[in-house]
Chains A and B, each alone.
Chain A
């Protein structure tokens, strides 16, 4: 996984709440068996509308998505994270994220930043007034900077460390695999097994 320490880029305002993962990437785009190539499916239905913010040339180069509350609800599809990353987004800012989407994003190195709605609104206004405004998402300092404004955010130390080091969870768990073996030795015998198959 790519390390995330700090990222500076331009940002795009998505003034919609409850953006579910079916909107981020519709089901018909989920059929690929790789983690790449999902950018065409990103917000596919909405991108048919020429007025949609992603179609505005001034936001073409944006790498930070600033969305309304409850971003990423619905389906657990990690393809939503891949689609955002494949398109070029490095971070998403919202006042609330759905649990599964949030987990998926932080596993895959897409930084999801939770800011109070009032600060989201301020960022929206600023990047609408000046789409070229430079926005910095600083994981080390745990803040978002835009002009003279500094918006602090919270992230647990463990996840922050893992993202800053670019460590993958499986490797970390495998370091403690003996504890898994020990746990398994005391699992009750009545717990079901899928093999051999019974029907």
Chain B
């Protein structure tokens, strides 16, 4: 029977299937960080259980870690305890960990791919909803809760109900200045934050194929913002080439065997998706969110919407609440909105290509006096690479702060937060109330829009410069 890509990967990982029960699915890679693992390790200890496969498990510190003075002990004692707890748990259970100060430390979804541990056809989980990022390699990757983290630690499997399949086709050529971030923001605005609930999304079409691996990761990363636990893209020569040079790529005969399997990882021509959605690349534009959920977005050339024009009662109420929270008036052009802080980073847009794209716009320019800009590489490795290319100097000369790696202001668990009423243009993934700091106001943007906004001080695209 013909299958979609997601169905093929699922079938290859079924350990046990019984009528009336969820499938028991094998997990090839389990990524761990400090926030969602402590209670899981505790559960193992209480039950006298071991980590079944430490050799398929890897930990890093990212959510709580400071991006300044990383050679000093973590100042917040509660954050420090959480990070110390992870270190103790990894030592006790024999799990590999990359701690603050290590060249491989960084956001868990940047670390997996750069080590070559993320490969096509795998099942990958992490106690973090942006695990969908790894789907860019043609892997089935999704976020899990702490109970499931414990389950994977103990058994290397998860009982799961098979998701439905959705295809999102983006055909054509993206206009200049339109990036992967704009594509995914447009998709979320189209299908809504609940549109993908219960589905695995496969992103297809010539505009998706044309994206770099970094761009594909940006797209898959935000599948969860569309409600889908996982999103993936069929692997191709770009994928294979990206993996080939990474430390944990298969070697010798293993490479040949892996490659011949990976080449089978496409959706069969006559396979049926439960839902198909199409967008035309030519119609897309730089995109920005105006509200407090990632579906509340519009092209940058538009104006703040009027809730009165929205028919759906719940959506209208949500829009009214959002405008009050965001301190915005209906009808105001989005490009006139003044921003206080620019955040360039996160698992969505903290990879080397994102830093290069922003630096290319900023080079030789000065930031607007009214803004501050934080540049937070996704991993220590990305930071080192950027410094080798001189990007750090571009950012510093521009007037930005060059920080160490971590999740940082994406969720403000560390000291990098917005103040009450402060407004950001952020390359991260969530514009929820208070996400970047209590009372903070977030506009989600691409690295190119972030850079242009840092120059002008108002929401802008490179075309406005």
Contact = CB atoms under 8 A, between A and B. Distances in A.
Please indicate whether A and B come from the same complex rather than being unrelated chains: yes
Interface of A: 15-18, 20, 22-23, 26-28, 30-35, 45, 68-70, 73-79, 81, 96, 98-100, 103-104, 107-108, 156-158, 169-170, 172-174, 176-177, 179-180, 183-184, 187-195, 197-199
A129 to B, nearest CB: 20
Given A170-B155, A174-B154, A69 B116 contact: no
Contacts of A81: 145
A26 B438 contact: yes
B173 interface: no
B314 A180 contact: no
B412 A27 contact: yes
B91 to A, nearest CB: 14
A35 B39 contact: yes
Nearest to B39: A35
B104 interface: yes
A101 to B, nearest CB: 8
Contact of B122 (A76, A172, A191): A191
Contacts of A195: 54-55, 96
B161 A76 contact: no
B427 interface: no
Contacts of A189: 254, 257
B96 A99 contact: no
8 contacts: A31-B76, A33-B39, A70-B193, A75-B128, A99-B198, A173-B151, A177-B155, A199-B104
Given A33-B38, A174-B154, A192 B29 contact: yes
A146 to B, nearest CB: 22
B175 to A, nearest CB: 30
Contacts of B151: 169-170, 173
B37 to A, nearest CB: 9
Interface in B59-79: 63-64, 76, 78-79
A78 B81 CA distance: 19
B148 interface: yes
Contacts of A198: 115, 247-248
Interface in B111-129: 115-117, 119, 122, 127-129
Interface stretch (B15-23, B201-209, B271-279, B454-462): B15-23
The 6 closest A-B pairs by CB, nearest first: A104-B145, A78-B145, A33-B38, A107-B147, A190-B254, A76-B143
Nearest to A103: B145
A178 to B, nearest CB: 10
Interface residues of B, number: 88
A85 to B, nearest CB: 12
B182 interface: no
Interface in B234-263: 247-248, 250, 254-255, 257-258, 261
Nearest to B247: A198
Given A22-B433, A76-B145, A78-B147, A192 B250 contact: yes
Contact of B432 (A23, A33, A156, A192): A23
Contacts of A199: 103-104, 115, 247
Given A76-B143, A170-B155, A190-B255, A183 B198 contact: no
A183 B26 contact: yes
B155 A26 contact: no
A197 B42 CA distance: 25
Given A104-B147, A173-B157, A191-B28, A197 B96 contact: yes
Contacts of B386: none
B47 interface: yes
Given A170-B43, A198-B247, 9 more contacts: A17-B314, A17-B315, A33-B38, A77-B145, A78-B39, A104-B145, A158-B22, A190-B254, A190-B261
A173 to B, nearest CB: 5
Contact of A188 (B150, B257, B432): B257
B198 to A, nearest CB: 6
Contacts of A73: 193-194, 227, 293
B145 A107 contact: yes
Given A177-B155, A190-B250, A190-B257, A78 B314 contact: no
Contacts of B148: 103-104, 107
Nearest to B197: A99
Contacts of B228: 99
Given A30-B413, A31-B413, A198-B247, A100 B21 contact: no
B445 interface: no
A173 B155 contact: yes
Given A17-B317, A183-B15, A193 B55 contact: yes
B145 A74 contact: no
Interface string B296-318: 00000000000000000011011
A113 B9 CA distance: 31
B314 A69 contact: yes
Contacts of B421: none
A31 B156 contact: no
B57 interface: yes
Given A100-B145, A107-B148, A158-B20, A74 B55 contact: no
Contacts of B315: 17
Contacts of A68: 314
Given A158-B21, A197-B96, A108 B64 contact: no
B383 interface: no
B82 A31 contact: yes
B106 interface: no
A98 B144 contact: no
Contacts of B250: 190, 192
Contacts of A99: 197-198, 227-229
Contacts of B128: 75-76
